Structure 1
Amino acid sequence: MDLPQQPVYAIIPSQGPSIESDRLLLRPVCDSDAEALFAFRSRPEIAEMNHPKEPHKSIEETREWMSTKTFSEGPSDVIGRSFHYAIVDKSFSKTQQRVIGSLSISQVAPFPEIGYAVHPDAWGKGIATEALQLLLKMWWDLPRRTAEGDSAHPVEVEKVFALCEKRNRGSCRVLEKCGFKVVGDYQHEQDELYIFALDRS
């Protein structure tokens, strides 16, 4: 199956909102998060399920990866902006709150795509599911642009998408718990992937 094609309808602010639950805070990633992000992007078990399969070898490499979360394609008003969030564990004191993962709308062209990773020490606690639910709430709450083209013809239902390796059962379960459905298969090099989609309610 070919990859999805859908324009981005969200109007993305220059400084994204933050959101929190009882145990998590999601806030826009900043440069000072590089060391915390490197702590899990350098782990082989994280790299194994993420292209290009190589753990980060330095904080500078993590900073380069962070820079890829800035949109370079899409409507002119989203170029240079991002929707990349740090997952902060609130169980520590204010001065010690820890970044335990990140998630984002990784790209908006040719389709809005979700990406996320959580430190292995935090696996199995429902953190990725909870964080993704928070991110989706922020995304759907953003103001929307009118569709390009003939306004007399309604736009198809707006969606967000995620690509997930078929063997990554943990990540597939996270997406399923958040309401995503498998809509197709895709192969990237040697990776067998599911294409997941979630309709805007």
Structure 2
Amino acid sequence: MILRTERLVLRPPQAHDLEALHHIFSNTQAMRFWSHPAHETLEETQKTLDGMLWSHRETGLEFVVERDGVVIGKAGLWRLAELGYILHPDHWRQGLAREALRAIIDATWDKYPAQLEITADIDPRNSASAHLLAHLGFKLTHSARATIQINGKWYDSDYYTLLRPDPDGP
């Protein structure tokens, strides 16, 4: 499945995406709130890409995000139905993540009609991501302390849920 928005193409990950994804996953600013440190080697990014390939086979909704033919990030359901996303900082604050996630959310409801919710978890220090999720209709359900350890330091998590819209609703 390929999703197209006004400015983006969301397509399945492919083996040749390694270097483009490494450009994102090796960026310390992009990875500041991610669940592991910025990648130092292509081998680290290869493991992430392998996970994306597996995830796409499982959900059909794990995507590389392209703008004007250039890979600028990844977004999708890495397992049913947990949303994950990252864009290179050069593409922040332009509404691109919202555009990509809206397409993925709509595709999730279409592909999985029995799926009642989509979840996401973020680092609570990531206010831009919290704002994005709220804008998309996600609700903060709970928070937990010391959930992820990166380079010997523990970080907290906020957990969000988006419920399937009621077709008979307002």
Question: Smaller-chain TM-score range?
Answer: 0.7 to 0.9
How does the TM-score come out when normalised to structure 2? 0.85
The Cα of 1:143 is off from its aligned counterpart by: 4.3
The Cα of 1:144 is off from its aligned counterpart by: 4.0
Runs of 4+ in 1 over 4 A off after TM superposition: none
Residue from 76, 82, 87 that aligns with 1:113: 82
Structure with the greater alpha carbon radius of gyration: 1
Letter in 1 for 2:44: E
> Is it true that 1:138 corresponds to 2:138 in the alignment?
no
Q: Which has a greater percent of helix?
A: 2
Letter in 2 for 1:123: W
Task: Measure the CA separation in 1 of the matches of 2:113 and 2:164.
Answer: 12
1:186 alignment partner in structure 2: 144
Unaligned runs of 5+ in 1: 1-16, 72-77, 91-96, 146-156
How does the TM-score come out when normalised to structure 1? 0.73
- Higher RCO structure, 1 or 2 (CA under 8 Å, sep 6+): 1
Letter in 2 for 1:103: A
2:5 alignment partner in structure 1: 21
Letter in 2 for 1:58: T
1:51-70, aligned counterparts within 5 Å? 51-52=35-36, 54-69=37-52, 70=54
- In angstroms, what is the RMSD of aligned CA positions? 1.8
2:30 alignment partner in structure 1: 46
8 Å CA contact 2:58, 2:79 repeated in 1? no
Q: How many percent identity over aligned positions?
A: 26
1:125 alignment partner in structure 2: 94
Unaligned runs of 5+ in 2: 149-153, 166-170
